[in-house]
Chains A and B, each alone.
Chain A
């Protein structure tokens, strides 16, 4: 038998064979089994869907965790930045106050020193009696106290 003939026979078998699905009439038993199979398939499909959704939720929650770690660290950093700024401002203010107070001390000291320096030649004057020198000292003392009070 040639190959051509064998091919024709095969074609014949295909063409003359039973058509798949051609006989659609099924018995009630077969229907029942088919229904059962369909239900099983649906159940499996639904279970797979549930599993997928659960996995998706897990993935989503992990992503939320990652984002929250980032956000928390950002918040902490900005909190610490604010603390650093606050501390620097506080130091600046405190240092400025100390400098200002020192300036006042120096200026008061200069006034006292200057006035005491001016009193010295008066006390050295031989022509002045003790009483006049005492009056001069008292006057200088008063002036010094007033000037200091003004500078407070």
Chain B
């Protein structure tokens, strides 16, 4: 075995070691990337859920107030359907977005 063959073997070992190290580092980064994706999606879903809860609360409060007014004076009607429709539209949009994010998370 001449000295070039020895150098060749040593370099092959160094290359293997380098490849191994690179694989480990990339695998770690991939885990970090996946983690940040999952965390981001989770954070967005939580915000959407909070918004949906808030909309549901608004709709309920509005319904109760309207019932109260109707009880106080049945002859008077107050039409705020556009407001209700707007809230329901926003809610549906948020629910759709949440579904998409849940699918993305899987």
Contact = CB atoms under 8 A, between A and B. Distances in A.
A binds B: yes
Contact of A87 (B36, B58, B82): B36
Interface string B58-74: 10011001101100110
B48 A87 contact: no
A73 interface: yes
Nearest to A133: B76
Interface residues of A, number: 51
Interface in A102-148: 102, 105-106, 108-109, 112-113, 116-117, 119-120, 123-124, 130, 133-134, 136-137, 140-141, 144-145, 148
Q: Identify which of A72, A101, A140 gathers the most chain B CB atoms within 10 Å of its CB.
A: A101
Q: How large is the interface on B (under 10, 10 to 19, 20 to 34, 35 or more residues)?
A: 35 or more
B79 to A, nearest CB: 6
Question: Which 5 pairs across A and B sit closest by C-beta, in order of nearness?
Answer: A73-B22, A91-B40, A55-B4, A109-B58, A62-B11
Interface of B: 2, 4, 7-8, 11-12, 14-15, 18-19, 21-22, 25-26, 29-30, 32-33, 36-37, 39-41, 43-44, 47-48, 50-51, 54-55, 57-58, 61-62, 65-66, 68-69, 72-73, 75-80, 82-83, 86-87, 90
Given A98-B48, A137-B76, 8 more contacts: A59-B8, A62-B8, A72-B22, A90-B40, A95-B43, A108-B58, A123-B73, A144-B83
